[in-house]
């Protein structure tokens, strides 16, 4: 009898707990969540996350994502790349003209623009910013990216609102280069530049009110390892189509959340509005459920622009390895490419949220992607034939291929530890190659060790994420054999192979012309050469998903990070409960 | 007593120096460095070389170490390569946050673990003690990382507690009392994640120690003299069982920092664990050395506290050095 009473009491207690949980959950549902409008509301706070805090607020000395994001919110360049169209659009410079030889641009600066501290913006600030970027003592992280043919741009001021920028040679991307350069206030930082201390200026111990800028927000609070708070810049110069001053938001708070699981939980709990990092494939299903229930908004922005790439060591130390000369052969790389079923790869590694890929340019890069380049698809028989053509056969019927000298066909791929896509992708490649008798050893190291091994040329292959600019001429470091990012054999004094010499020549012409059609034609040629020799290859490009709370009303997500905050001044939130 | 404390202080200081030196030398000797990590694959080699010169990372490890040691003697532990700030200030700020979390976790562990240990130790059989033992084993088996995620999920589901962080977004102008209440609202989830496994450890140790104490002949004699069971338990058996519990409590206090490492990451608690993770990830040798020395200092304080507590609970334990001279055959 007592036992039955206990059971009944237990059931009642469980029902009460379940009801309480259900009540809390429903209480958290935002009103009218599924029907959020795309109209822009003025005011409110957007709460986003950052995986790590910025080491500095100074974009001239910091190249982390966090520093770049702080810069995007608080500073402004002369021209901006529209992340949706990839077109260069006026920003602090409202118009410009190009000289007949295509090397000189005269930029007219917006008048009546002031920094967040009320100081007028003039051409002197532009000249100061270029000087800072090229200053030897500052050794700015922006300096190299602002050079063409390793030469700096020449900048002169002709009036308080006009600057002339001269390129050392004809440069295809033209003013696109200037999107990288935030215009910093000369009146605040000239003394630091003169003293040679600009690199350490605007560190995280700087009081936020000393960081002035031309961006839509100003940094008002920094709590180390906790959050950054940005308030609307009262002097911001942009207005919307209806003449309303921008930004719409009163405030953006960046909560520093190092763990991605915790970040997701916060979004699901309605405590944040926006995730900064790309969603992992395994996060899609739970978030889709939340989205279907109207608790979050999940958007598939499309196939990404960047991807994981497998490249081989084609540098001098590796080419001296006579026992494994096959590692240097294009036939081996082509065979490997045929060995991988990219559709299954996309389904397995990215749980279907990816598209098969082959080269180093994403189909999402509609301006530059060449559909005509060869795409060695899944064909195990062709792979075996290619391996056999360079003497790789199973000579002792043990299921393992051996080279002509009897050495088993085995090589190592380095990946960065803790990166899910790298680990899963490398495991898939290992299994795919094992079926053909090739042993792939996957070695996971921390980033620093992978960089060290790559720099020393001490590796067989690396499978890693490759981040590139959509415009190929902005990635000359990758395409040119002399480039430091020519990952398979960097910094060559002379091109090691005829096909690399060809690419060097074509890319030099591609970067040196301003005719868009000619540039496209030349880059198609480069993609065909790469597809033929396959020094590096990709297997799948993941889709880019953006997850926000339903409070976020108007935003236009892009494929590149920061997907939502790239145009932070136009993002708005629906007013709701206290934040 | 003073001599004992002075000796302990010197040995603790030595331990801190050794741990910090080892951390610095190991971080320097391991492949790659801060500049390579920051630059990533494809970074400009000339630029990286300039950076190494600017940051003195081009020096041989021995020179680097001696220069750091010379600074450390003057309490200058170097400038963080990652944050470009003096590491002393960075570590002090985060250590305070970690201390707060550790104290809260220790309180939870003691308040839950000790009474439950007495409960299970005094009742060898029964449903309730079995449930407590089972829960302890479960808490001990679940890694802190998983425990943190589970607790965060629970917090997200119920909304009772925030899902991480140390403070809310509201302005600091809201006043001290508001700030303290806000802090108290944020502490329970990470403190539970750190404290529950420790509570389980204490419960198990206390339970066993109490069961052993109750089995002593003196307890049977006390019962025979008519001492009530409650008085026997709390007045006689519990103090007798305190020695092993105190020893474990001290070690737990010292090791709290390493236990909170994963919890701080998951719950976004701005403590020393997160700072250490960032320092190691970025190969910030000076910050890694300072974090390691702070962890060693935590351990030293924990062990010292344990020794002192042990001396208090068991008068037979002496903290004076052992007497020299002929020993009995």
Residue-range domain boundaries for chain B: 1-167+180-320
Work out the burial of residue A94: count CB atoms within 10 Å of its CB; fewer than 13 is exposed, 13-18 middle, 19 or more buried. Answer: middle
Q: DSSP letter string over A319-356?
A: HT-GGGGGGG-HHHHHHHHHH--HHHHHHHHSTT-EEE
Chain B residue with minimal CA distance to A454? B41
CA-based Rg of chain A, rounded to a whole angstrom?
27
What whole-number distance in Å separates Cα of residue A191 and Cα of residue A195?
A: 6
CB B82 within 8 Å of CB B174:
no
B149–A262 CB contact, under 8 Å:
yes
CB proximity list for B236: less than 8 A, separation 6 or greater: B218, B219, B222, B227
The DSSP secondary-structure symbol of A302 reads E
Interaxial angle between packed helices A380-389 and A330-339, expressed in degrees from 0 to 180 and rounded to the nearest 10: 160
Give the distance from residue A47's alpha carbon to the nearest chain B alpha carbon, in angstroms. 9
CA distance A250 to chain B (A): 14
Select from B27, B33, B41 the residue whose CB has the most chain A CBs within 10 Å, as the one to mutate to test that interface.
B41
| B4: CB partners within 8 A, 6+ apart | B319, B320, B321
Tokens 């598939």 found at: A300
The interface residues of chain B toward chain A in range 38-67, judged by CB-CB distance below 8 A, are: 38-45, 47, 50-51, 54
Q: Per the CB < 8 Å rule, is A21 touching B265?
A: no
B32/A446 Cβ within 8 A: yes
β-bridge mates for residue A274, sequence order = A48, A548
The reply to whether residue B85 touches residue A205, judged by beta carbons under 8 angstroms, is yes
Structure tokens at A11: 């059931």
Instruction: Please answer yes or no on whether B169 and A225 come within 8 Å at the CB atom.
Output: no
Q: Which CATH number do you get for residue A328?
A: 3.10.105.10
Inspect the interface and report whether the beta carbons of B152 and A454 lie closer than 8 Å: no
| Residue B154, min C-alpha distance to chain A (Å) | 10
Write down how long chain A is.
579
CA-wise closest residue to A411 among A489, A314, A541: A314
Of the CA atoms within 13 Å of residue A485, those in its CB half-sphere come to 20
Residue A488 lies in a domain: yes
pLDDT of residue A26: 40
Separation in Å, CA of B68 to nearest CA in chain A: 21
- Interatomic CA distance for residues B283 and B27, integer angstroms: 7
Alpha helices by DSSP H, listed for A49-122, are 65-74
Residue written as tokens 């868009």?
Answer: A516
Distance, CA of A413 to CA of A462 (rounded, Å):
5
Nearest CB to B166 within list A56, A226, A491: A226
DSSP designation for A432:
H
- On whether the CB atoms of residues A113 and A92 are closer than 8 A, the answer is yes
Optimal mutation site among A222, A448, A466, interface B, most CBs of chain B within 10 A = A448
How close is the nearest chain A Cα to the Cα of B51, in Å? 8
| Residue B237: DSSP 8-state | I
Instruction: Flag whether residue A491 sits within 8 Å of chain B, measured between CB atoms.
Output: yes
Residues of chain B with C-beta less than 8 angstroms from the C-beta of A24: 157-160
- Contact check, Cβ <8 Å, B277/A258: yes
ω into B74 cis (within 30 of 0) = no
Across the interface, which of A226, A454, A455 has its CB nearest the CB of B165? A226
CA distance A321 to A329: 12
CA B212 to chain A, closest CA, distance in angstroms equals 34
Encoded tokens for A49: 């996350």
Rounded-to-integer distance, Cα A30 and Cα B309, Å: 53
* A461 lies in some domain: yes
Tell me the backbone φ, ψ of residue A308, rounded to 5 degrees: -80, 140
The neighbouring-strand residues paired with A545 are A300
- How far apart, in Å, are the Cα atoms of A390 and each of A32, A335, A395, A553, B260? 65, 10, 14, 59, 55
Task: Tell me if B158 and A45 make a contact (CB, 8 A cut-off).
Answer: no
Alpha-helix residue ranges (DSSP H) falling in B187-314: 188-214, 217-224, 229-231, 238-266, 272-282, 285-313
A473: in domain: yes
Nearest to B84 among A25, A203, A265 (CB): A203
Residue A124: strand, helix, or coil: helix
Alpha-carbon gap, residue A423 to B9, rounded angstroms = 47
Measured in whole angstroms, the distance separating CA A150 from the mean position of its chain's CA atoms is: 24
Residue A493 lies in a domain: yes
- What is the rounded distance in angstroms from the CA atom of residue B205 to the CA atom of residue B197? 12
DSSP annotation of B235 reads I
| B37·A448 Cβ contact <8 A | yes
Q: What tokens does B38 get?
A: 């920051």
Residue A155's SS3 state is strand
Contact A200/B84, CB-based, under 8 Å?
Answer: yes
- B222 — contact with chain A (CB < 8 Å)? no
Tell me how far apart the alpha carbons of residues A237 and A112 are, in angstroms, rounded to a whole number.
Answer: 8
pLDDT one-digit tens code per residue, B6-52: 887 888 888 888 988 898 888 888 777 888 888 888 787 788 888 88
Establish, for the pair of chains A and B, how many residue pairs have beta carbons separated by less than 8 Å.
148
Q: Which CATH class, in words, describes the domain spanning B1-167+180-320? A: mainly alpha
Is-contact B219 B232, C-beta < 8 A? yes
For residue B271, the chain A residue with the least C-alpha distance is A225
Percent of chain B with pLDDT over 70: 93
- Record the tokens describing residue B182, joined without a space: 């806000």
**B168 touches A: beta carbon within 8 Å:** no
Chain A residues in contact with B33 by the CB 8 A cut-off are: 448, 452
Cα(B235)–Cα(B33) distance, rounded to whole angstroms?
59
Mean predicted lDDT score pLDDT of chain A: 89
Which of B42, B162, B274 is closest, CB to CB, to A484?
A: B42
Segment B136-157 mean pLDDT: 88
Residue A52, domain member (yes or no): no
Chain centroid to CA A451: 18
Average confidence score pLDDT of chain B = 85
Q: How far is B16 from chain A (nearest CA, A)?
A: 25
Which residue from A21, A261, A484 is facing B157, i.e. has the nearest CB? A21
Q: If you compute the radius of gyration of chain B from its CA atoms, what whole number of angstroms results?
A: 24
* CA-CA-CA-CA torsion sign (B211, B217, B222, B226): positive
- Calpha distance A161→B155 (Å, rounded): 55
Smallest CA–CA separation between B311 and chain A, in Å? Answer: 40
Interface test with A, best of B87, B146, B169, B279 (most A CBs within 10 A): B169
Question: What do you get for the CA distance between the two ends of chain B, in Å?
Answer: 29
Mutate to test the interface with B, among A51, A133, A258, A415 (most CBs of B within 10 A): A258
Q: For residue A430, what pLDDT is reported?
A: 97
For chain A, which residues score pLDDT lower than 70? Answer: 1-39, 318-320, 576-579
CB A255, CB A50: distance < 8 Å: yes
Question: Does B93 contact A139 at a Cβ distance shorter than 8 Å?
Answer: no
Tell whether A449 is covered by a domain.
Answer: yes
Residue B329 is predicted with a pLDDT of 39
- State the pairing for strand pair A307-312/A461-466: antiparallel
CB within 8 Å: A258 and B268: yes
The pTM assigned to this predicted structure is 0.84
pLDDT digits (tens, 9 = 90+) for B235-274: 888 888 888 888 888 778 767 776 788 899 889 999 998 8
Count of domains for chain A: 1
Q: What is the pLDDT of residues B44-97, one digit of tens each?
A: 778 888 888 888 888 888 898 999 889 888 888 888 998 888 999 899 989 999
- Residue B183 structure tokens: 């802090």
Domain with A337, as residue range(s), is 307-541
- Whether A17 has its CB under 8 Å from any CB of chain B: the answer is no
Check B163 against A266: CB less than 8 A apart: yes
- Give chain A positions within 8 Å (CB) of B275: 225
Cβ of A144 and B83 within 8 Å?
no
Q: From CA A383, how far away is CA A335, in angstroms rounded?
A: 4
Contact: A139, B54; criterion CB under 8 Å: yes
User: Tokens 């970027």 identify what position?
Assistant: A133
Burial pattern A379-408, b for ≥16 Cβ within 10 A else e, equals eeebbbebbeebbbebeeeeebbbbeeeee
Element (H, E) at A537: strand A536-538
Taking the mean position of all CA atoms in its chain, how far away is CA A20?
A: 43
Residue in chain A lying closest to B165 (CA): A226
Distance from CA of A474 to the nearest CA of B (A): 14
Contact flag A448-B156 (C-beta cutoff 8 Å): no
> What local confidence, expressed as pLDDT, does residue A4 receive?
56
Contact between residue A91 and residue A176 where contact means Cβ atoms under 8 Å apart:
no
B183 contact A CB<8A? no
Domain-embedded: residue A535: yes
Prediction ipTM score: 0.80
Helix (H) or strand (E) holding A546: strand A540-549
Burial of residue A21, with CB atoms counted within 10 A of its CB: 0-12 exposed, 13-18 middle, 19 or more buried:
middle
Residues 259-278 of B with CB under 8 A from A: 265-268, 270, 274-275, 277-278
Window A:263-292, CB contacts with B under 8 Å: 265-266, 268-269, 271
Question: Angle formed by the axes of helices B188-214 and B176-186, to 10°?
Answer: 60
Q: Token pair of B43, please?
A: 């970074």
Residue B309 pLDDT exceeds 90: no
Of A46, A74, A123, whose CA–CA distance to A235 is shortest? A74
């Amino acid at each position: 009898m007592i036992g039955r009473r206990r059971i009944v009491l237990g059931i009642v207690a469980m029902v009460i707990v379940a009801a309480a949980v259900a009540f809390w959950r429903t209480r958290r549902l935002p009103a009218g969540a599924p029907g959020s409008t795309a109209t822009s509301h003025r005011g409110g706070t957007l709460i986003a996350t950052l995986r790590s805090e910025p080491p500095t607020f100074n974009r001239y000395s910091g190249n982390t994502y966090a520093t770049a994001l702080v810069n995007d919110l608080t500073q402004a360049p002369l021209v901006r790349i529209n992340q949706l169209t990839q077109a260069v659009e006026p920003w602090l410079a409202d118009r410009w003209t190009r000289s007949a030889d295509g090397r000189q641009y005269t930029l007219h600066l917006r008048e009546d623009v002031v920094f967040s501290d009320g100081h007028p913006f003039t051409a002197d600030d532009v000249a100061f910013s270029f000087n800072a970027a090229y200053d030897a003592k500052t050794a700015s992280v922006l300096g190299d990216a602002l050079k063409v043919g390793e030469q700096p741009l020449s900048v002169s001021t002709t009036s308080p609102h006009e600057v002339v920028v001269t390129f050392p040679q004809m440069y295809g991307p033209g003013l696109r280069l200037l999107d990288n350069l935030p215009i910093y206030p000369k009146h605040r930082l000239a003394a630091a530049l003169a003293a040679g201390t600009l690199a350490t200026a605007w560190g995280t111990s700087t009081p936020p009110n000393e960081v002035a800028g031309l961006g839509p927000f100003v940094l008002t609070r920094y709590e180390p390892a906790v959050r950054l708070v940005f308030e609307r810049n009262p002097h911001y110069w942009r207005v919307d189509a209806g003449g309303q001053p921008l930004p719409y938001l009163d405030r953006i708070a960046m909560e520093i959340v190092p763990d991605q699981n915790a970040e997701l939980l916060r979004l699901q709990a309605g405590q944040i509005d926006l995730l900064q990092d790309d969603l992992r494939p395994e996060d899609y299903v739970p978030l889709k459920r939340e989205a279907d229930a109207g608790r979050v908004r999940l958007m598939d922005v499309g196939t990404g622009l960047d991807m994981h790439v497998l490249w081989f060591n084609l540098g001098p130390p590796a080419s001296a390895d006579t026992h494994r000369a096959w590692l240097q052969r294009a036939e081996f790389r082509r065979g490997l490419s045929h060995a991988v079923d990219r559709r299954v790869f996309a389904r397995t590694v990215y749980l279907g949220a990816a598209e098969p890929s082959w080269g180093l340019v994403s189909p999402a890069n509609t301006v530059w992607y060449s559909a005509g380049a060869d795409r060695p698809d899944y064909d195990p028989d062709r792979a075996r034939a290619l391996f056999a053509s360079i003497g790789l056969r199973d000579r002792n019927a043990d299921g393992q291929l051996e080279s002509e000298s009897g050495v088993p066909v085995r090589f190592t791929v380095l990946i960065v530890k803790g990166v899910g896509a790298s680990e899963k992708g490398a495991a898939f490649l290992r299994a795919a190659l094992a079926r053909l008798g090739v042993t792939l050893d996957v070695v996971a190291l921390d980033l620093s060790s992978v960089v060290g091994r790559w720099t020393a040329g001490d590796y067989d292959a690396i499978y890693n994420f490759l981040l590139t600019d959509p415009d190929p001429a902005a990635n000359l470091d990758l395409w040119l054999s002399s480039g430091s990012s020519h990952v398979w054999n960097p910094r060559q004094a002379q091109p090691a192979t005829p096909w690399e010499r060809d690419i060097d020549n074509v890319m030099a012409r591609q970067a040196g012309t301003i005719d868009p059609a000619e540039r496209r034609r030349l880059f198609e040629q480069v993609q065909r050469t790469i597809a033929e020799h396959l020094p590096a290859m990709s297997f799948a490009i993941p889709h880019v998903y953006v997850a926000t709370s339903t409070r976020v009303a108007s935003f236009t997500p892009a494929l590149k990070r920061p997907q939502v905050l790239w145009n932070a001044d136009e993002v708005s939130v629906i007013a709701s409960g206290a934040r | 007593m003073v001599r004992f404390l002075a000796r302990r202080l010197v040995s603790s200081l030595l331990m801190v120096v050794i741990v910090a030196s080892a951390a610095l030398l190991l971080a320097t000797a391991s492949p790659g460095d801060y500049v390579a990590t920051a630059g990533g694959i494809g970074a400009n080699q000339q630029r990286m070389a300039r950076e190494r010169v600017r940051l003195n990372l081009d020096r041989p490890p021995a020179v680097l170490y001696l220069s750091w040691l010379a600074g450390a003697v003057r309490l200058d532990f170097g400038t963080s390569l990652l944050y470009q700030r003096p590491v002393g200030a960075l570590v002090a700020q985060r250590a305070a946050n970690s201390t707060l979390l550790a104290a809260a976790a220790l309180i939870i562990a003691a308040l839950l673990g000790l009474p439950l240990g007495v409960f299970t130790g005094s009742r060898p059989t029964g449903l309730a003690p079995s449930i407590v033992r089972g829960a302890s084993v479960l808490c001990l088996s679940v890694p802190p990382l998983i425990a943190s995620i589970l607790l965060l999920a629970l917090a997200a589901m119920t909304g009772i507690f925030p899902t991480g962080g140390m403070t809310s977004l509201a302005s600091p102008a809201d006043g001290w009392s508001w700030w303290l209440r806000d802090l108290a609202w944020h502490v329970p989830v990470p403190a539970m994640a750190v404290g529950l496994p420790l509570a389980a450890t204490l419960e198990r140790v206390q339970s066993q120690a109490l069961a052993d104490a109750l089995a002593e002949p003196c307890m049977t004699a006390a019962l025979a003299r008519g001492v009530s069971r409650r008085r026997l338990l709390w007045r006689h058996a519990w103090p007798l069982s305190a020695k092993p519990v105190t020893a474990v409590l001290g070690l737990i206090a010292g090791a709290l920092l390493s236990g909170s490492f994963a919890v701080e990451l998951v719950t976004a608690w701005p403590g020393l664990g997160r700072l250490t993770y960032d320092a190691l990830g970025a190969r910030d040798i000076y910050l890694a050395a300072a974090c390691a020395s702070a962890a060693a200092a935590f351990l030293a304080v924990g062990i010292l506290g344990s020794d002192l507590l042990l001396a208090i609970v068991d008068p037979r334990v002496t903290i004076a050095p052992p007497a020299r001279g002929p020993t009995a055959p």
